Amino acid sequence: MKRIFLILVLLIQSALFSQQKWDIRFYNEIVGRDIEVFADNNEPMPMSAQFNFKLNNLASTLSNDEIVVIPANSKRFLITKFSEIKPNTANSFSYSNTYNFGNALQEDFDADYIYSLPFEKGKTQSIFQGYDGKFSHKNEFALDFDLKSGSPILAAREGIVVQVVNQFTQSCPDISCAKYNNKILIMHSDGTFADYSHLKYKGTVVKKGEFVKKDQLIGYSGSTGFASGPHLHFAVFINRIDGKRTFIKTKFKTSESDAILLEEGKSYTKDY
């Protein structure tokens, strides 16, 4: 059993190091004749994991490739239990997994929520790329606000800051530079996430785990990452286990309307 346990630990560590930006740990314990697999999720958001088991004379309470959602800030969350099929017969096990942030099984969300324009009161800003835009928004419901570098960015909706990236200075108008996006990721009460991207170097004023209010200052715009110039990229989505995102169209309050979908090429004023 000790030899098998060592193999399991090595498989888990390989998965962790390939996705080390998320603070989650998987481990197992032997309880009598059973083996229980647990997760410690130290992130302020749920995490989703998908497992592939190789079992000999053992049955798992979790099916292969089934997705399990691990609650935020949880310890010893039971993933599965392996039980003997034939007593007094040799058994062995190993598994691999992939994981990602958010509830990958989520389908419902608050479709009636009204967002605030993510810039200062009294300002008028245009949308230079809208939903399904031809440059970088193909098949995405994302908005690019034409903000000058250093413009204050305000939270469009209240929520918990779950990721802050602000160390990059590079940019280019190619997808290869997307890895240099300075950004803030905020989780909303309905489980959706808002992505505020292309912030300036060291242009964030909030920290991971902090709760931010609607219209609170969170950072300053820039042109880092996949960008041809200064602007704010804003998108709301549900995350999936494979890294794909289900994007959501969002209604905003403007000086002209209490709830409107913003359109490419149009300008909008914030008077609140």
**Residue 48, C-beta contacts closer than 8 angstroms, at least 6 positions apart:** 67, 68, 69, 70, 99, 100, 101, 102, 103, 104, 105, 239, 241
Query: Given this model, what pLDDT does residue 80 score?
Result: 97
Q: Report the percent of the chain where pLDDT is more than 90.
A: 80
pLDDT of residue 20 exceeding 70? no
**Numbered ranges of CATH 2.60.40 in the chain:** 2-101
Residue ranges of the chain assigned to CATH 2.70.70.10: 114-269
256: left (phi over 0), alpha (psi -120 to 50) or beta: alpha
Task: For CA atoms 177, 179, 185, 190, give the dihedral sign.
Answer: positive
Distance CA 171, CA 152 (A): 20
Q: What SS3 class is residue 13?
A: helix
pLDDT digits (tens, 9 = 90+) for 168-198: 999 888 888 889 999 999 999 999 999 999 9
- Please check whether the domain covering 114-269 is classified as CATH 2.70.70.10: yes
Task: Quote the pTM value.
Answer: 0.90
Q: How far apart are CA 8 and CA 92, in angstroms?
A: 10
The CATH number, out of the four listed (3.30.460, 1.10.10, 2.60.40, 2.60.120), of the domain defined by the range 2-101? 2.60.40
Per mean pLDDT, which of 5-9, 150-154, 223-227 is the most reliable?
Answer: 150-154
- State the Cα torsion 97-100-101-103 to the nearest 10°: -70
Residue 138 identity: K
Which tokens sit at 233?
């990229």
Average pLDDT, the chain: 91
Q: Residue holding tokens 């990236």?
A: 165
Distance CA 157, CA 138 (A): 24
Asked whether 164 and 204 are in contact (CB, 8 A), the reply is yes
Q: What's the CA gap between 28 and 85, in Å, rounded?
A: 19
* Contact in structure between 82 and 60 (CB atoms under 8 Å): yes
Instruction: List the beta strands (DSSP E) in 199-250.
Output: 199-204, 211-212, 217-221, 225-226, 232-239, 245-248
Q: Give the length of the chain.
A: 272
% of the chain residues with pLDDT over 70: 92
